[in-house]
Structures are given as C-alpha cells and as structure tokens.
C-alpha cells in the first residue's frame, strides 16, 4: 500500500501546522517533524515509527543508525519499531517475517491536536490484502503518540472478529547512550528472564544490568519502570509502561552488529534497546470485541544537557 497522499497529510496537520511539518527521507517515505515548547520529535509514516525524541535542553534520547535503510519491506534500524502481532519469530511459521508486519506498512495519520507544550498524533494501520495473508484474524490497530515533556506511545489492538485471538507485541525502543560499558539499567532486580544468548535458559536478575558482551533477554512477569543510568551524561532515562508484562533488553555487541549490516562499526556502543512488551507466555488473549493497550512513557531525569 502506498503512503498517505501528501495533500491529505497536509490537511490533517493544518490545525497544528506551527508544530508539525512534513519532510521526506527518501521517495515515498514521509516523515512528520514535531516541535513544541517542551520537546521535538520525528515520526516516519512507514511503520508509524518514532525516529527521534529530544526534550527541550536535553540530549536526544533515541538512537537511529546512520546506516538505517528506508526502503519498502525493510526495517528501519533505530527509533521505536512496532513489533506486532507477534514478537520475535512467528510462533508457528518460520517463513513469516520476524516481529510481525506492522513495522513494514505505511500507516495513516488520522488526527493531530495539541497546544504550545504538547502535541498528540493519532495513527491507524489500514487493512490490506497482503496483510490478511499474514494475519487472518480481523483486528484493528491504532497508535497514539504524545510529544511533550515526555514521549508517550499507546498501541491499541481491538479484536473485531468473532473468535479469540492471541497477540504478542513490543515497542522496540532504541535508546542512545554515552557508552554501553558506562551505563547500568535498574528496575529488573530479582526478575526471571529468558537468556537468548545462552540457549534460552531461564535465569534470575541479580542487581542492575551491566554490559560486557552481547545481551538479549526477555524479562517476564514485570510491570515495573526501568531506568537507564548514564553517569557520563549526568541523566537517567525512565521507561514507564502500561498493559505490559515483559521487558526486553538488547545490545548486539561487535559480531552481531557486524552481521546485521545496518549498524556502523562501533556504533553498538552508543545504543541499548529497552522494550516495553508482551512476549513469550506474557502474550495477550483477546475475546471478540475486546481491546488491549500497550503503552510506554519515556522521560529524562537529571541535567543531561
């Protein structure tokens, strides 16, 4: 499906034209640039993917690869990809795309509202024939992004069919850090996790998370806030969440970053993923007519300027 018509986009943002502009990163890849008195952000209509968020007077909080690829059918490396309606490999069919298909589709901007200090954008994922071949269950998917003192995302799934459905999902957030070896992550102490780097062993977190090598973990049965402490930048990034029982923490380190092909040499040291999710046994069951909202609030605490 092609991206939303430019004239339709301009009409939608007209009431907030002082805060929201339209740019293109490559042909057929419109990007919304948001700037108000409290922060700035950018959002790709492809994948409804937030690419950047910077509170006023603070560092940029999201990491976007300098080698990110903007092409139909490719994932954009960085920002906040939307993993839906499954997280990781498809539960039954390995030929299906990893992390679902929502991040590989052009979304529709339905509404923009706000004032000088806060901007709200509402998106929806249009139905397409090719998506129906990947996901037969009738569902409606919307995303609300609020750009203000904090960045808020709410991904809502509604089961519009006549049978129950199960979904797993993640707000796969890439954060920028001064150096992966200098940070620590708190909020997951004493939480069980699946260690994908070590044969999917189930382990228990002891103390804060620190990084010395590749790390890929799904923390289960946790609704706690997670905090990235970055002493070099003298700030903390707080990740609050709602409707989420999993938190994913990931850094590819040297060898995997090289294999991925869209992360510059050494750039893995300036990023870490902390993902608000429902994965593994924390997937969500929806009866007909039911909705579920997966949400996160990202804020910066401390000097950090």
Report the C-alpha gap between 99 and 278 in whole angstroms.
12
d(C-alpha 273, C-alpha 99), whole Å: 15
What is the sign of the dihedral through the CA atoms of 182, 262, 5 and 106?
negative
Active site residue 152: no
290 labelled catalytic: no
Cβ contact 167:286 at 8 Å: yes
Catalytic residue among 104, 106, 172, 235: 172
How far apart CA 35 and CA 31 sit, in angstroms, is 13
- Give me 175's structure tokens: 């954060």
132's enclosing H/E stretch is helix 129-134
Catalytic residue among 275, 290, 292, 301: 275
Backbone angles phi, psi at 270, to 5 degrees: -105, 15
Q: In whole angstroms, what separates CA 284 from the centre of its chain?
A: 18
8 Å CB contact between 248 and 223? no
Name the 3-class secondary structure at 248. strand
Both tokens of 14, joined, read 């007209």
Which residues are catalytic, by number?
172, 275
């Amino acid at each position: 499906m092609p991206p939303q018509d430019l004239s339709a986009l301009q009409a939608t943002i007209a009431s907030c034209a002082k805060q929201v502009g339209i740019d293109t990163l490559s042909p057929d890849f419109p990007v919304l640039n948001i700037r108000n008195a409290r922060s700035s952000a950018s959002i790709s209509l492809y994948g409804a993917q937030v690419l950047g968020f910077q509170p006023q007077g603070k560092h940029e909080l999201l990491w976007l690869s300098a080698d990110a690829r903007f092409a139909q059918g490719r994932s954009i490396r960085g920002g906040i990809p939307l993993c839906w309606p499954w997280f990781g490999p498809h539960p039954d069919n390995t030929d299906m795309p990893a992390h679902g298909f929502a991040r590989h589709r052009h979304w529709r901007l339905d509404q923009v509202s706000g004032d000088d200090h806060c901007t709200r954008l509402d998106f929806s994922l249009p139905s397409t024939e090719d998506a129906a071949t990947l996901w037969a269950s009738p569902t409606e998917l919307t995303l609300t992004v609020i750009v203000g003192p904090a960045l808020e995302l709410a991904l809502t799934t509604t089961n519009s069919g006549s049978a129950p459905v199960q979904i797993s999902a993640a707000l796969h957030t890439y954060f920028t850090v001064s150096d992966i070896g200098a940070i620590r992550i708190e909020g997951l102490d004493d939480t069980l996790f699946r260690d994908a780097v070590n044969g999917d062993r189930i382990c228990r977190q002891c103390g804060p998370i620190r990084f010395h090598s590749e790390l890929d973990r799904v923390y289960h049965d946790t609704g706690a806030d997670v905090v990235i402490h970055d002493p070099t930048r003298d700030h903390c990034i707080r990740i609050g969440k709602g409707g989420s029982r999993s938190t994913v923490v990931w850094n590819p380190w040297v060898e995997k970053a090289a294999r991925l092909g869209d992360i510059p040499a050494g750039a893995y040291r300036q990023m870490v993923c902390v993902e608000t999710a429902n994965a593994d046994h924390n997937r969500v069951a929806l009866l007909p007519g039911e909705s579920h909202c997966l949400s996160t609030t990202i804020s910066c605490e401390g000097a950090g300027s």
